Amino acid sequence: MTNLSTRKRFRSFVHCSTDNYLSNLKNTINQNNYQNMKKNQIFYFLLIGLFLISCSKDEVTLDNEQQSKEPTKQTITAKNRSNLKPIGSGVMMQAFYWDVPAGGTWWNVVKNKVDDWSNAGIDAIWLPPVSKAQNGPFSMGYDPFDYFDFGEYNQMGSVETRFGSRSELVSLVNTAHNNRLSVIADIVLNHNSGGNSEYNPFKGTNTYTDYQPMSGMFNRSYYDFHPNDAQANDEGVFGGFADLSHTKSYVQDWLWRNPNSVAKYYRDVIGFDGWRFDYVKGFGPWVVKEWKNEVGGFSVGEYWDGNAATLDWWSGQAEVSAFDFACYYRMRDAFQGNNLNRLNDDMLWKRNSSRSVTFVTNHDTDEIVNNKILAYAYILTHEGYPTIFYRDYEEWLNKERLNNLIWIHNNLASGNTSILYTDNDEYVARRNGYNGAGLVVYINNSNNWQERWVETNWSNTRIKDYTGHSNWEPVTQGGRWVKIQAPPKSYSVWSVK
């Protein structure tokens, strides 16, 4: 088998144009004896013809051999997907935060929690990027180097990733599946880091674009990044990292099309059930669409923009969900800024709730500090697919209150939404029910108990507050009106008793 360095040199060589090759060949012959050119004309043109056959990098035979090579260590694979909860039927857990403890322990930490999370009503866990990155044992994974090293090769300063070994990752995935939880992979497709320096003719200088990972899979050169022979740039560069060129068929093959692509290996060998796409502003929405069409699975993109119309456009083009940053920023203004009128503003869930993934905090941003539990009461009673942040659940907020809100979301929060009342301190909305009773949520950001008459879904029906914050059990009038209450800096959620 050709070694990696020889393969790399061959791949770079066959990208040259025929004219350059002929020129170099003639110069070489001139240095020896140009007269021999006539005697050996047939030989040289036969040689040229052989190279013309494989002149396109994307069709090089050695690359095809590399693509069809069996994945490394496939004996450790994920199993048990037959009884998973449907993603979106419950609540997603972001199962990490920035700078989780290093030392290769995180996969085991999460593994020990999935049983409790499933019992609480979580239906999927979102993991950080799982492959080896440039900063090895210290990296959070967002500077990917070897997409197929999950903590088993000694490169980038460690064998394990920051989070653990390959076997620990697969064990976590299997344990999650055994507990009916789907597992969502964080996929970084825009940029790479950790390549060696090589001369780049498209830049006229050296660039760190020589990638020869120890897995032997998805080697890369300057042809696979911007600028290259096909494209100078795409929608965005991140942090000065090498910017992958998704228009290259070779890159598409390795990322999602071929049997050993990142997408299919992660799905079929590691066992991932869905995808969270990082920094999708950096490339066209067609990339996510093609990935999703190739391998399926729940998909959500991080299009960091507070404009609901922009999020709606992107999710429509990509045909996947998007994190509802419009909702996030309006909640920040409402709860951190003490103006609940902002909850009347435009959000993705109001435009297309089936494509909205709502959140209060994530590993990148945590601006809602005051009244954070009120923000969770909002997303867990409203439309969209809500996400809970690991540290909010496990460390910072009251877990019993969050579990209660998860139960309310999974059992009562159905149907579309009608906003009944807003002012600076109070917000009341009704879920109108779909194959269920629905609910009324009353959020009170004032310093005193508040009461309000509201129109419900129910006539002549006794209702109660499912949070336990109020002990009232009023009966709705024949016209469906009833008085409800909410405690200070808190909330209540009402439905049929």
CA 20 to centroid of chain Cα atoms:
43
**Active-site annotation holder among 302, 324, 383, 392:** 302
* DSSP conformation class of 393: I
Q: Helix, strand, coil: what percent of the chain each, to 5?
A: 35, 20, 45
CB 406, CB 386: distance < 8 Å: no
| Catalytic option among 149, 160, 278, 333 | 278
Q: Is 302 among the catalytic positions? A: yes
Alpha-carbon gap, residue 130 to 29, rounded angstroms: 51
Nearest to 90 by CA among 430, 397, 357, 368: 357
306 Cβ partners below 8 Å, 6+ apart?
325, 326, 328, 329
Closest CA to 81 of 176, 172, 184, 177: 177
Q: At what angle do helices 285-295 and 308-318 cross, to 10 degrees?
A: 40
3-class DSSP state of 15:
coil
Q: Supply the Cα-derived Rg of the chain in whole angstroms.
A: 28
Q: Which of 125, 115, 120, 160 is nearest to 141 (CA)?
A: 160
CB atoms closer than 10 angstroms to residue 11: 21
CA proximity to 285, closest of 359, 338, 235? 235
Catalytic site includes residue 152 = no
End-to-end Cα distance, the chain: 71
Give binding residues for Ca(2+) as ranges.
190, 253, 425
Indicate which residues carry an active-site annotation.
278, 302
